[in-house]
Chain A
Amino acid sequence: MSSGSMVIKRKPGVAPQALYFLVPAIILVGFVLIFPIIFAFFLSTFKWPLVETENRQFIFVDNYINIFKDKEFWHALYLQIGFILIAIPIELVIGFSVALLFNRSFPFATLIRSLLLLPVFVLPVLSGLTWRLMLQPEYGPLNYLISKLGFKQLTWLADPKLAYTAIIIQDIWRMWPFMFMIIYAGLTTIPKDLIEAAKLDGARFRDRVFKIIIPLLKPTIATALLLRIIDALRIFSEVFIMTEGGPGNATTLLSIYIYRQAFRYFNMGYSSAMAIVLMLISLIIALAIVSKNFEVE
């Protein structure tokens, strides 16, 4: 076993009767989880304009071939990956730093910790709407502050680069407490004696963080990253409310593009094919993280 990996021990000799009790759950999961995936894959092999139900044509892998030729798909994927690579590391750093700060006792710590979690509980639609209003060029509070500081007011959601930045800022604001929550829970499991011993041995704060805390938290961080990446790949409502993918295609992330193909252009087969590709990307990322950070004995 490599250091810092979580070991999942499989107990030998599970009673076969236990499997019977699992059957209802397996059926339910199969219906809720597996059936939609199979159905989406089935749809992805058809050319199916939603308003022409009778004109469904079996085209096998043509939709997948078209995806590779579709410039807008690649642009949306590029934006989506950029979004993940920028937002999630920042959320991790903030979440980790705040978790370290809160890993000690001080007055009202419990209350402040609970308050910090509030953004995670805000509905994505509400978050998008709030940020849209906050970024409003004329009466948005953010521009008011900017103008009070003597800078020119910005048209956040009308400028492609600023709009992309804005959706990333919104995501960081809403989701860093999620990182904080998971990492803080991980921190509380690290034995205090270990840290005390390191202190007595003269380890500096930086050494304690990088040589003790982070290696011990590796599985926790991996779990947080995994959950966030999967969540970020599905991001939709906030972006839709803030920009609808605009200006131009500046914030058309993959989920927005899939929605547009499905419910604006009514290309159900093509959008299903893209949804399957998105799911495969999530699976590959999940497998990579799990295989690197978790070990099954």
Chain B
Amino acid sequence: MRKFSVLITLLIATFLIATTINVLVWDDAHTEAVKSLIKVFEKETGIKVNFEMLPSRSVLEKTAIGVSSQKTDYDLVAIDEPFIPQFSDLLLPYDEWPEGSKYKKPSLKVVLPEAFRAAEWKGVIRGLPINGNVYVWMARKDLIEKYQDEFKKEYGYDLGFPDTFDQLIDMAKFFTKKGIYGFGPFTIKSEGATCEAIFMFESFGTSVLELKDGKYKVVLDKEKAVKAIEFYKELLKYSPPGATAYGHSERIAAFNQGKIFTMFQWPAIIPSHENPDESLVAGKILYGPPPAGPEKRVAIRGCWILAIPKASKNKKAAAEFAYWWASKEMGKKLVKAGMTPVREDLLLDPELRSEKPWFVAIFQSMKYAVARPRFEKYPEVSDVIQRYWISAVTGQITPEEAIDKMVEEIKNVLRKYGY
């Protein structure tokens, strides 16, 4: 009886003493993988983790409501890279993160350098990049093999990785003639549309915003931006019916049903294309970096970072959890469970590469990574870009009119906030 009382007392004491951290993250295959292994972390460290997974947009809202400079509901939050400037003052710089007790603080060298750039704002790294999310090109390998000769006969070069945007159009056109839609666009009003717009603008050699001498300037080149819109409109001709209302779910469904030859995709979503329970084309997909645009080869980046709010009272435990998540040994297990890593050693691990053929494409694409405009009031700028990009590519207004209005309204946003 006495032993039993001691045991109960010890259990209660352990429960009361154990540190609990609140973690807020986005919801996809990556975080599902982490969730599935949290018990391992809790067992090893004695730190209890409340792991809250929400759709990306809700993560942002909850962070804004729950994190301030004085107090925070969360000890560790995931932040999508374009929103880092907005939250930067509330986050503990990575340099000041405490050392881990059990897991080592990852050196900047192990993470892809472009991904660390995603975590940087005004020269300070605000958190630990945690997923290698950058656009990769994907296409049906089985169709490439099937139509190789016929394509070469018609176009005079091998069917495979498109090297240029012109080759991408050739392939889209060719497969549409064969009854398979050539391209899967992203056209609904959301962050995805901003990504598509920036990807195209940068490929045609123009950016939206530039920070010079502490001042923001709209630098969108009308001629280049119009060409980018016209190119995308051309791609839409080879897209499925209803492609002017294509979001993530529509394009995933169409590609998984085998209706689309090629599209650009976020690595975090690829596991659903490669899951035989969800996809008719699992195991039949080829991955690579996006083709080069007329001006340069780019890949839009969308890395999430793990950040510790300055107001957190459990910084050490939060850092420990982040280090566990980012460690190589756990990374190997997490990758098998569905995580998209950002560590170079994991992306290039021979064993993982054979299981996840898109990892090499992430590594290659990251070299050409470009970011969405980095700006404290980014959401308003993104909203303007989405609105006019979609209006133009879906033919509601002319590309020229869209760019004029886009520039004018972004300037209004800058003026409104005194930039």
Contacts and interface: CB of A to CB of B under 8 A. Distances in A.
Interface in B141-178: none
A266 B242 CA distance: 33
A160 B380 CA distance: 21
A265 B379 CA distance: 6
Contacts of B272: none
Given A53-B68, A260-B383, A247 B242 contact: no
Interface in B182-211: 187-190
B396 A160 contact: yes
Interface string B388-410: 10110010100000000000000
A138 B387 contact: no
B87 A158 contact: no
Nearest to B254: A138
A52 B88 CA distance: 11
Contacts of B390: 246-248
A42 interface: no
Identify the interface centre among B69, B86, B242, B250: most chain A CB within 10 Å of its CB. Answer: B242
A159 B70 CA distance: 46
Contacts of B86: 51, 266
B64 interface: yes
A104 interface: no
Given A51-B64, A265-B379, A136 B70 contact: no
A46 to B, nearest CB: 15
A245 B189 contact: yes
A138 B190 contact: no
Question: Do most interface residues of chain A lie in helix, strand or loop, or is the interface mixed?
Answer: loop
A25 B396 CA distance: 54
A90 B188 CA distance: 29
B65 interface: yes
Contact of B69 (A53, A143, A155): A53
Nearest to A251: B189
A78 interface: no
A158 B395 CA distance: 11
B319 interface: no
B244 A155 contact: yes
Interface in A21-68: 50-54
Given A51-B87, A158-B242, A246-B390, A265 B380 contact: yes
B240 interface: yes
A264 interface: yes
Interface in B368-387: 377, 379-380, 383, 386-387
Contact of A153 (B69, B188, B190, B242): B242
Given A51-B90, A158-B394, A264 B383 contact: yes
Given A244-B189, A248-B387, A248-B390, A50 B65 contact: yes
Contact of B391 (A50, A155, A244, A247): A247
B64 A263 contact: yes
Nearest to A267: B380
A50 B69 CA distance: 11
B241 interface: yes
B245 to A, nearest CB: 4
B61 interface: yes
A265 B86 CA distance: 10
A212 B10 CA distance: 80
Given A51-B86, A53-B69, A158-B245, A138 B240 contact: yes
Nearest to A263: B61
B70 A53 contact: yes
Interface string A220-262: 0000000000000000000000011111110000000000100
A137 interface: yes
A265 B382 CA distance: 10
Contact of A247 (B67, B90, B396): B396
Given A51-B87, A246-B390, A248-B396, A137 B242 contact: yes
B210 to A, nearest CB: 22
A92 interface: no
Identify the interface centre among B87, B254, B380: most chain A CB within 10 Å of its CB. Answer: B380
Give the interface residue-count category, chain A: 20 to 34
B311 to A, nearest CB: 10
Contacts of B387: 246, 248-249
A137 B241 contact: yes
Interface string B61-78: 100110111100000000
A17 B386 CA distance: 62
Contact of B250 (A52, A136, A156, A264): A136
A157 B188 CA distance: 9
B245 A155 contact: yes
Interface string B224-243: 00000000000000001110
A143 B394 CA distance: 19
Contact of A137 (B245, B380, B388, B394): B245
Interface in B55-109: 61, 64-65, 67-70, 86-87, 89-90
Interface string A160-200: 10000000000000000000000000000000000000000
B324 to A, nearest CB: 28
Contact of B188 (A156, A159, A246, A249): A246
Given A53-B70, A247-B391, A157 B190 contact: no
Contacts of A157: 188, 245
A50 B60 CA distance: 11
Interface in A266-282: 266
Contacts of A248: 189, 387-388, 390-391, 396
B189 A264 contact: no
Given A246-B386, A249-B387, 13 more contacts: A51-B64, A51-B67, A51-B87, A51-B90, A53-B70, A153-B242, A157-B188, A158-B244, A158-B245, A247-B188, A248-B387, A263-B61, A266-B64
Interface of A: 50-54, 136-138, 143, 153, 155-160, 243-249, 260, 263-266
Interface of B: 61, 64-65, 67-70, 86-87, 89-90, 187-190, 240-242, 244-245, 250, 254, 377, 379-380, 383, 386-388, 390-391, 394, 396
Kindly list the 5 A-B residue pairs having the minimum CB-CB distance in the complex, ordered from nearest.
A137-B242, A246-B189, A158-B245, A158-B244, A53-B68
22 contacts: A50-B64, A51-B67, A51-B68, A53-B70, A136-B245, A137-B241, A137-B245, A138-B240, A138-B242, A138-B254, A155-B245, A156-B245, A158-B187, A245-B189, A246-B188, A246-B387, A248-B390, A248-B391, A263-B61, A264-B383, A265-B377, A265-B379
